């Protein structure tokens, strides 16, 4: 019983700490831009953005190149974009090229499955990291 209570406390503490480090208006604006671009599953895509940019606050990641989703090019280098809008447009094209074909073959698959199939998520660790962020987006942003 003690272990269960300790685990619940740690989960609650983690969620509170995670939520406190997030600039909610900034997240809402980014979510709105993702949704306005017509990107499918915007809650998952926003969670990807949060994961790849340290909640839009990282200093040493691809965000300095307006790379919101951690896209890399040959040589394991961050893909550079001129603006956040250009990056969102790139994601839309990336998704449009891959998702419909995958969905036709996997009608019951989840977006997590799609990300794995497309080579975006390299394993289960990414899914585990993304899930709490998807829940945060669904709970805290106006969808």
Counted domains in the chain: 1
Q: How far apart are CA 84 and CA 87, in angstroms?
A: 5
Q: Residues 26-45: what's their mean pLDDT?
A: 98
Which tens digits make up the pLDDT trace of 44-90? 999 999 999 999 999 989 999 999 999 999 888 999 999 999 999 99
Going by pLDDT thresholds of 50, 70 and 90, the confidence category of residue 13 is very low
Determine, yes or no, domain membership for 3: no
Report whether pLDDT(19) > 70: no
Q: Is residue 9 part of a domain?
A: no
In a domain, 123, yes or no: yes
Q: What is the mean pLDDT of residues 88-101?
A: 98
Cα 97 to Cα 28, 32, 101, 129, 136: the distances in Å are 26, 22, 8, 25, 28
Tell me the two tokens of residue 120: 């975006």
| Domain span including residue 78 | 23-140
Residue 131, in any domain of the structure: yes
Q: Is pLDDT at 91 greater than 50 in this prediction? A: yes
* Per-residue model confidence (pLDDT) at position 122: 79
Alpha-carbon torsion 108, 117, 73, 58, what sign?
Answer: positive
Assigned domain for 36 exists:
yes
The verdict on residue 10 lying in a domain is no
Q: Which residue from 18, 5, 3, 10 is spatially nearest to 140, judged by alpha carbons?
A: 18
CATH of the domain at 39: 1.10.530.10
What's the mean per-residue pLDDT of the chain?
Answer: 88
- The verdict on residue 16 lying in a domain is no
Q: Which has more confidence, 23 or 11? A: 23
Q: The whole model's pTM is what? A: 0.84
| % of the chain beyond a pLDDT of 90 | 77
Instruction: Specify if 8 maps to a domain.
Output: no
The number of residues making up the chain comes to 143
CB contact at 8 A, 59 and 53: no
pLDDT value of position 9? 44
Q: What per-residue confidence (pLDDT) applies to 2? A: 55
The CA distances from residue 67 to 30, 33, 60, 82, 86, in Å, are 13, 14, 12, 9, 9
């Amino acid at each position: 019983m003690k272990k269960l209570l300790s685990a619940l406390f740690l989960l609650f503490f983690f969620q509170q700490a995670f939520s406190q480090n997030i600039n909610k208006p900034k997240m809402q604006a980014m979510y709105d831009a993702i949704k306005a671009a017509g990107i499918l599953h915007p809650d998952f895509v926003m969670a990807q953005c949060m994961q790849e940019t340290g909640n839009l606050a990282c200093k040493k990641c691809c965000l300095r190149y307006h790379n919101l989703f951690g896209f890399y090019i040959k040589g394991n280098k961050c893909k550079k974009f001129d603006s956040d809008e250009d990056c969102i447009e790139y994601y839309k094209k990336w998704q449009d090229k891959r998702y419909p074909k995958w969905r036709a073959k996997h009608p019951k698959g989840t977006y997590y499955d799609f990300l794995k199939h497309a080579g975006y998520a390299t394993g289960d660790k990414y899914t585990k990291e993304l899930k709490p962020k998807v829940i945060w987006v669904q709970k805290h942003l106006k969808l």
